[in-house]
Amino acid sequence: MDLVTVRWFLAVAETGNVTRAAEGLRVSQPGLSRAIARLERELRAPLFDREGRTLRLNRYGEIFRSHAEHLIATEDTARRELAQAADPDHGEVGLAFLHTQGTVLVPELLRVYRSAHPHVGFRLIQGSSERIEAAVASGHADMAITSPRPEGLAWHPLRTERLRLAVPAGHRAAGPAEANLADVADEPFILMRGGYGLRTVTDELFRAAGVRPEIAFEGEEATTLRALVAAGLGVAIVPPGEGVAGVAEVVIADARRTIGLAWAENRTRLPAVEHFRRFVIARSAP
């Protein structure tokens, strides 16, 4: 059964006459009659009662008409949605991003983009680098703003951040212009939990400095790390962000992380997705 024949059946059911239906469909009357006969043979049921030149749906035809209308409505909806998806000014973008990028970078990107493309929708996922990169790899997200560079995904760097050592106000490490991890090696550290990109970068910094940290707590958000530093629980390595009362922050020498855009290179991208990807990359250009 093809949908063209289903549409022809509905036209005959509406007009009650093969000739008028054929004229409206711009097909030949014999061709339409043969198509209806094939449909009846395929369904193994007569669909019309013939009264002279008039065709009236019988009980079988009434049953089939409700399903035929549903089939055509479903096809029409699919075609509309496909056409909309092919329009770069419509469609939906699945964007995943780190917690730390949810206060400035991501809102700014969405604000600027949606001002020019108000009909593009966004499906947002926020989480650890491990979670959002898995979302891209599995197809649950189209792209991710993450750090560090993930394996197996295409990547474009967007910005570089200098990491900071957060210490209680008045701490001895708060004075110099730059801090060294070796200078606070004996302090308890408040770190991001494993699976977060910042923790990966932090662990690399510890290895480079020859520091084996005493871990006082592992959190999931930089704001929590700062708050616990203010409470005197220890010191923390944090990205740039809103300060917390009672905490001093000093940039760490040679401690940087790159925030970038990651996507699956060989996956088909809808026009809206590709347009937004190019927009984000262009915004990162110097």
Q: Give the pLDDT confidence score for residue 224 in this predicted structure.
A: 92
Q: Which fold has domain 161-256?
A: D-Maltodextrin-Binding Protein; domain 2 (3.40.190)
**Domains 92-157+260-283 and 161-256 fall in the same CATH topology:** yes
Other CB atoms within a 10 A radius of the CB of residue 134 amount to 18
Whole-model pTM: value is 0.70
Contact indicator for 203, 64 with CB cutoff of 8 Å: no
The whole-number pLDDT of residue 286 equals 59
HEC string of 82-94 equals HHHHCCCCCCEEE
- Quick one: residue 200, left, alpha or beta (phi over 0 = left, psi -120 to 50 = alpha)? alpha
Burial 216-238 (b: 16+ CB within 10 A, else e): beebeebbbbbbbbbeebbbbbb
Mean pLDDT score of the chain: 91
For the structural domain made of 92-157+260-283, what CATH number should be given?
A: 3.40.190.10
The reply to whether omega before 286 is within 30° of 0 (cis) is no
199 pLDDT higher than 80: yes
Instruction: Determine the Cα–Cα distance for residues 248 and 255; give it in Å rounded to an integer.
Output: 17
**pLDDT tens profile 3-57:** 999 999 999 999 998 898 999 899 998 999 999 999 999 999 999 998 877 889 9
Of 1, 22, 10, 8, the residue nearest 65 (C-alpha): 10
Q: CA 21 to CA 13: how far, in whole Å?
A: 9
Q: Are strands 92-98 and 143-146 parallel, antiparallel or unpaired?
A: parallel
pLDDT at 90: 82
Is 92 a residue whose pLDDT tops 70? yes
Please, is 285 exposed, middle or buried when counting C-beta atoms within 10 Å of its C-beta (0-12, 13-18, 19+)?
A: exposed
The answer, yes or no, to whether residue 205 has pLDDT greater than 90, is yes
Q: Which CATH number fits domain 3-85: 2.30.30.30, 1.10.10.10, 2.170.120.12, 3.40.47.10?
A: 1.10.10.10
Each domain of the chain, given as residue ranges in start order, spans: 3-85, 92-157+260-283, 161-256
